[in-house]
Amino acid sequence: MECLYGIPGPPLSSPPPNKLQASISDAWVIDDDEFCNPNVNISKKVAQSAALNVINNHKTKQFESSSSTRNNKVNESESSKIAKFNALLNLNLLNLEELRSLAWSGIPNQVRPDAWRLLAGYLPTSSERRQQILERKRTEYWVFVKQYYDTERDETYQDIYRQIHIDIPRMSPLMMLFQQKLVQEMFERILFIWAIRHPASGYVQGINDLVTPFFVVFLQEFLPVGTDLELLDISTLPKEQRDIIEADSFCCLSKFLDGIQDNYIFAQLGIQQKVNQLKDLIQRIDTNLHNHLLKHGVDYLQFSFRWMNNLLTREVPLRCSIRLWDTYLAESDDFAAFQLYVCAAFLLHWRQKLLRERDFQGLMLMLQNLPTSNWSDHDIGVLVAEAYRLKVAFADAPNHISGSKTKR
């Protein structure tokens, strides 16, 4: 295990490098029957060893639980997980940290909409104020729409509108749902209002893909379990429900993007910086892979820009993006930093295939078309577990990562 990337294992005993680690480290719950599955909050040390076991089992394809985890083996059923979420969500005063801990390793479909509203900071922790806040925020959104979208747009806004208008019909082109006029109009309003309320960035290509997980989750709230989205005609939903889906998607998107605003400002500086951080990180974690990419002239910007800009939505199927959103939202404000490690884990996941490619063409074609179409929640679980492990092992090195701006 220790030689996975040619480096010693992570320093498990080292103190948490930052808030992020502290916020999630006591809550390792891997939701998969094949693996050990502690049904309780566990200590940081246990959590980390559980994470390492997950990764190790995955890499070696030995699915029997190892000796250190056998004792912890608890088969948490979906229903008990839902019960746990419901217990939390129904408290008068929600403990957000607890919700984050629970949500980090995946949220069951039934409780996801409310869990996301709370994690995004759209809903307050106090249960009695929730309905009132919801109604107020939804009304606010529709006031914006009336004020900016339904009226004649001035020239600056017109340019934003045109770009959105061109991009909307071509998002998720293979899903019929997104070809429906009503759905496209909903996205158009969400993106337009967001763009004009964030003049430092405006509309940036790719943000439409970031609306999609919210949209689908809030849509499913109104559909019978198991409804096939491909067969859904959204006009069959009452307008009041469509308006809620739209307003909630907007509000959660806004909160969600607040943490990564620098990704979308002029020149996308946040992303450029993260791409450099990714490069530094891979160089430290896996020199072979890094040198292999360099040797064949592959620049990290060429493939990881999209990973960062779209938060991997273009690289994995929609259902996996939704599962990934559980963890991103549970990371709260720190998810921008965490996403770097998710990208690193994602790249390292393909290292064997990449090392077999022998020229620039082969590498780029692979990096831009990674075979994830069969990925499930489980793969995302492994991915974020690995990202977490990398974060624990490598985040505690300010000279290399966050300190790249400071003097070397």
Nearest to 385 by CA among 9, 25, 15: 25
Q: Does 272 bind other proteins (CB under 8 A)?
A: yes
Residue selected from 37, 49, 309, 321 as contacting other proteins according to rule CB under 8 A = 309
Answer yes or no: are the C-beta atoms of 192 and 207 closer than 8 Å.
Answer: no
Scanning 12-20, 140-148, 296-304, 324-332 for contacts with other proteins by CB under 8 A, the matching segment is 296-304
Q: Does 292 bind other proteins (CB under 8 A)?
A: yes
First to last CA, the chain: 32
**Shortest distance, CB of residue 126 to other proteins, whole angstroms?**
39
How many CB atoms within 10 Å of residue 199?
Answer: 10
Residue selected from 74, 83, 93, 365 as contacting other proteins according to rule CB under 8 A = 365
**Shortest distance, CB of residue 167 to other proteins, whole angstroms?**
5
Rounded alpha-carbon distances, angstroms, from residue 389 to 2, 12, 50, 327, 349: 12, 9, 10, 14, 13
What x-and-dash track marks residues 315-354 binding other proteins by CB under 8 A? ------------------------------------xx--
Q: Does 181 bind other proteins (CB under 8 A)?
A: no
Token readout for 156 is 């600056």
**Cα–Cα distance between 201 and 196 in angstroms, integer?**
9
Residue selected from 107, 171, 210, 392 as contacting other proteins according to rule CB under 8 A = 171
Q: Does 176 bind other proteins (CB under 8 A)?
A: no
Q: Please say which residue, 10 or 38, places its beta carbon nearer to other proteins.
A: 10
| 12 CB-near residues (< 8 Å, 6+ apart) | 45, 48, 49, 392
Residue selected from 255, 284, 314, 319 as contacting other proteins according to rule CB under 8 A = 314
SS3 297: coil
Token readout for 85 is 């979420």
Scanning 40-48, 95-103, 287-295, 326-334 for contacts with other proteins by CB under 8 A, the matching segment is 287-295
- The DSSP secondary-structure symbol of 11 reads -
Which residue type does 209 have?
Answer: D
For 66, counting Cβ atoms within 10 Å of its Cβ (0-12 exposed, 13-18 middle, 19+ buried), the class is middle
| Site for other proteins, residues 202 to 231, rule: CB under 8 A | 204-206, 208
Find residue 272's DSSP bridge partners.
Answer: none
Q: Does 306 bind other proteins (CB under 8 A)?
A: yes
For 251, counting Cβ atoms within 10 Å of its Cβ (0-12 exposed, 13-18 middle, 19+ buried), the class is buried
For 234, counting Cβ atoms within 10 Å of its Cβ (0-12 exposed, 13-18 middle, 19+ buried), the class is middle
Token readout for 206 is 């790719």
Q: Does 305 bind other proteins (CB under 8 A)?
A: yes
**Shortest distance, CB of residue 168 to other proteins, whole angstroms?**
10
How many CB atoms within 10 Å of residue 295?
Answer: 11
For other proteins, how many residues bind (rule: CB under 8 A)? 45
Residue selected from 295, 333, 398, 403 as contacting other proteins according to rule CB under 8 A = 295
**Shortest distance, CB of residue 192 to other proteins, whole angstroms?**
16
Residue selected from 39, 302, 372, 402 as contacting other proteins according to rule CB under 8 A = 302
Scanning 68-76, 86-94, 117-125, 161-169 for contacts with other proteins by CB under 8 A, the matching segment is 161-169
SS3 126: strand
Residue selected from 151, 358, 376, 398 as contacting other proteins according to rule CB under 8 A = 358
**Cα–Cα distance between 403 and 271 in angstroms, integer?**
16
Q: Does 310 bind other proteins (CB under 8 A)?
A: yes
Judged by the rule CB under 8 A, the positions of this chain that interact with other proteins are 1, 3-4, 6, 162-163, 166-167, 169-173, 179, 204-206, 208, 266-268, 272, 288, 292, 295-296, 299, 301-302, 305-306, 309-310, 314, 351-352, 355-356, 358-361, 364-365, 368
